């Protein structure tokens, strides 16, 4: 459940936004329809979660967001210190203790007197905080997700760099509709050679004879994925980062997926095949329970500075 942290400066519990230097209610945030961020999906983004009043692995998210911006040649005016303060203030303005916090960098468009080229389009930051979002509902997570292997392949990373989060979701959207048509919760996409990649908003893991494997190519290097790799090392579970053929996925003892909007989600059916006893498997459950326990204990936690809501906000100032 998303709770509100009581403090005098919380103004927008439904959500707050930062748009190119201004803070405002999320319902009032708008971008022009002529911007290339909208018209060309010329955007990179990242999403970090807040749980129990703390950001999770915020340093890792900011590092990945900056790398994504650099790979797509965005140059916003905000520094990493600015971004950290912006995110803290957004959550503080909502008063939420459990929140979904997104940061986007998008391109505008050249002015009429400039060459019509992205080099002349300004980069700027849009961000927002809202009540925590689950990629799949808690009841689905408890029983285990029912998934399909989509017939639509993942966009090859030689075309679109999967390590930079982006809005090129045509393949993901088609796969989501395919899963819906087949009565499943969500899809898993393959590459053109038939290897596992990822799904809409999550990385994919399979477990065979107690060994965990996840894809090493054409995937976002997810922060929750990194957390599972860390947990496997801590718990003495073998975790291999390599090519995962679809046959291995179909024959796996367990499957689970990971993402910021849900953590670790077990899969109990794939293309109608029941895994185990149609309940989350022991490895996935052990990882999931450990993940949430450690988060509650402060693992990679950065407490939200709820006092940011009432402070002045000059860009370029170092975080207090």
The answer to whether residue 5 scores a pLDDT higher than 60 is no
Confidence check: pLDDT of 229 > 80: yes
Return the CATH architecture of domain 138-296.
Alpha-Beta Barrel (3.20)
pLDDT of residue 318: 44
Write the CB contacts of 156 (distance below 8 Å, at least 6 apart in sequence). 191, 192, 218
Give the model's confidence band at 4: pLDDT under 50 very low, under 70 low, under 90 confident, else very high: very low
Per-residue H/E/C for the chain? CCCECCCCCCCCCCCEEEECCEEEEHHHCCCCCCCHHHHCCCEEEEEEEEECCEEECHHHHHHHHHHHHHHCCCCCCCCHHHHHHHHHHHHHHHCECCEEEEEEEEECCCCCCCCCCHHHCCEEEEEEEEECCCCCCHHHHHHCEEEEECCCCCCCCCCCCCCCCECCCHHHHHHHHHHHHCCCCEEECECCCCEECEECCEEEEEEECCEEEECCCCCCCCHHHHHHHHHHHHHCCCEEECCCEHHHHHCCCEEEEEECCCEEEEEEEECCEECCCCCCCHHHHHHHHHHHHHHHCCCCEEECCHHHHHCCCCCCCCCC
Contact 249, 188 (CB under 8 A): yes
Confidence of residue 195 (pLDDT cuts 50, 70, 90): very high
pLDDT at 308: 80
Provide the pLDDT for residue 141: 94
Instruction: From 55, 11, 51, select the one nearest 131 (Cα to Cα).
Output: 51
Residues 41-62: pLDDT tens digits?
999 999 999 999 999 999 999 9
**pTM across the whole model:** 0.93
Q: Does the pLDDT at position 184 exceed 70?
A: yes
Per-residue pLDDT at 167 exceeds 50: yes
pLDDT band at 259 (very low <50, low <70, confident <90, very high): very high
Radius of gyration of the chain (CA): 20
Q: How many CB atoms lie within 10 A of CB 33?
A: 7
pLDDT in tens, 278-309: 999 999 999 999 999 999 999 999 999 999 87
CA 250/CA 274 separation, integer angstroms: 10
The CATH number of 16-132, from 1.10.8.50, 3.40.50.20, 3.20.20.140, 3.30.470.10, is 3.30.470.10
Parse the chain into domains and list their residue ranges. 16-132, 138-296
Q: Is the pLDDT of residue 315 over 90?
A: no
pLDDT number for residue 310: 64
pLDDT surpassing 90 at residue 313: no
Q: What is the mean pLDDT of residues 245-261?
A: 97
Q: What is the pLDDT of residues 77-133, one digit of tens each?
A: 999 999 999 999 999 999 999 999 999 999 999 999 999 999 999 999 999 999 999
pLDDT > 90 in the chain, percent: 92
Report the phi/psi class of residue 150: left, alpha or beta, with left for phi > 0 and alpha for psi in -120 to 50: beta
Give me the percent of the chain exceeding a pLDDT of 70: 94
Average pLDDT score, the chain: 94
pLDDT computed for residue 2 by the predictor? 45
Question: Is pLDDT of 311 > 90?
Answer: no
pLDDT of 142 over the 90 cut: yes
Predicted confidence at residue 316, as pLDDT, reads: 59
Of residues 2 and 14, more confidently modeled = 14
């Amino acid at each position: 459940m998303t709770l509100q942290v009581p403090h005098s400066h919380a103004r927008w519990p439904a959500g707050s936004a930062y748009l190119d230097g201004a803070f405002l209610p999320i319902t009032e945030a708008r971008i022009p329809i002529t911007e290339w961020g909208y018209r060309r999906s010329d955007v990179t983004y990242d999403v970090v979660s807040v749980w129990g009043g703390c950001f999770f692995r915020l340093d890792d998210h900011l590092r990945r967001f900056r790398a994504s911006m650099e790979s797509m040649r965005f140059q916003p005016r905000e520094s990493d210190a600015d971004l950290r303060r912006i995110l803290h203030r957004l959550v503080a303005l909502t008063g939420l203790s459990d929140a979904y916090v997104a940061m986007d960098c998008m391109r505008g468009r050249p002015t009429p007197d400039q060459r019509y080229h992205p080099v002349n389009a300004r980069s700027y930051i849009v961000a927002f905080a809202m009540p925590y979002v689950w990629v799949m509902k808690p009841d689905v997570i408890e029983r285990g997700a029912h998934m399909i292997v989509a017939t639509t392949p993942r966009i090859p990373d030689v075309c679109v760099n999967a390590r930079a989060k982006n809005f090129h979701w045509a393949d993901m959207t088609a796969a989501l509709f395919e899963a819906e048509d087949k009565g499943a919760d969500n899809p898993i996409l393959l590459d053109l050679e038939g290897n596992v990649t990822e799904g809409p908003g999550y990385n994919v893991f399979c477990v065979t004879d107690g060994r965990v494997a996840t894809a090493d190519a054409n995937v976002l290097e997810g922060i929750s994925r990194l957390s599972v790799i860390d947990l496997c090392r801590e718990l003495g579970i073998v975790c291999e980062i390599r090519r995962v053929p679809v046959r291995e996925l179909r024959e796996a003892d367990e499957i689970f997926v990971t993402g910021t909007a849900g953590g670790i989600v077990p899969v109990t059916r794939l293309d109608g095949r029941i895994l185990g006893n149609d309940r989350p498997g022991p490895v996935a459950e052990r990882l999931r329970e450990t993940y949430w326990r450690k988060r509650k204990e402060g693992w990679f936690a950065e407490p939200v500075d709820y006092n940011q809501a009432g402070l002045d906000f000059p860009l370029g100032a170092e975080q207090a």
